[in-house]
Structure 1
């Protein structure tokens, strides 16, 4: 499990996802319910925190696991962001690729 959560595997994709949130949130704020805006904003903050942990204490797998579980509780990232990073990838309700 630690290998999957390692900085070498996840840091760059998380950084790229996190960089896309501000413009996506701004472009979609009028289309989103307050609940979805809050959920995506929380998800973005968790991604930023995860990146900070990777930058400062990449071996803190307890904190990394905690952040990943919290992110999972927020649901999937916006489909448009996922599509930018992985064209053609579609995620099911369970978060797994279809």
Structure 2
């Protein structure tokens, strides 16, 4: 019975329907309704955090966090002006992930019980570049 279930799942995963289901889920997860407000809040905290921590960071770390802040600002502009531009949102999210996790201090301010270090990053290999969706 388990073998039959596994075979059915494998067939479903190969089908075009599964791709569209995954793409729809990603669009919902990355939608303005879900992410815009948290991204705005995180983005608003960066300037002060960067200023307060500049002397504690290496130049490389500072540049990485500064670039990450720029990408968050760019993402918020897309949410404000082109909320349906899923390809641009994915592109910016991938670039943000290349910068690593946001500063834990900022995340702790927004969600004190959330441990960002426990999360793994989505790697570029997880994205189907042909369809611009995450492969789960």
SS of the aligned residue for 1:18 comes to: helix
TM-score by length of structure 1 reads: 0.94
Name which one, 1 or 2, has greater alpha-carbon Rg.
Answer: 2
TM-score by length of structure 2 reads: 0.68
Q: Which of 51, 60, 71 does residue 35 from structure 1 map onto?
A: 60
Q: Deviations over 1:48-84 (max 9, x none)?
A: 0000000000000000000000001100000100000
Quick one: higher RCO (CA 8 Å, sep 6+), 1 or 2? Answer: 1
Paired with 2:41 and 2:69, the residues of 1 have a C-alpha distance of 11
Q: Are positions 1:25 and 2:61 aligned together?
A: no
How much is the aligned-residue C-alpha RMSD, in angstroms?
1.3
Q: Which runs of 5+ in 2 are unaligned?
A: 1-25, 123-136
Paired with 1:79 and 1:92, the residues of 2 have a C-alpha distance of 8
Report the equivalent of 2:113: 88
| Structure with the largest fraction of helix | 2
* Offset of residue 6 of structure 1: 0.3
Corresponding pairs, count: 96
Report the equivalent of 2:96: 71
Q: Which of 40, 55, 79 does residue 15 from structure 1 map onto?
A: 40
Report the equivalent of 2:86: 61
Paired with 1:57 and 1:85, the residues of 2 have a C-alpha distance of 26
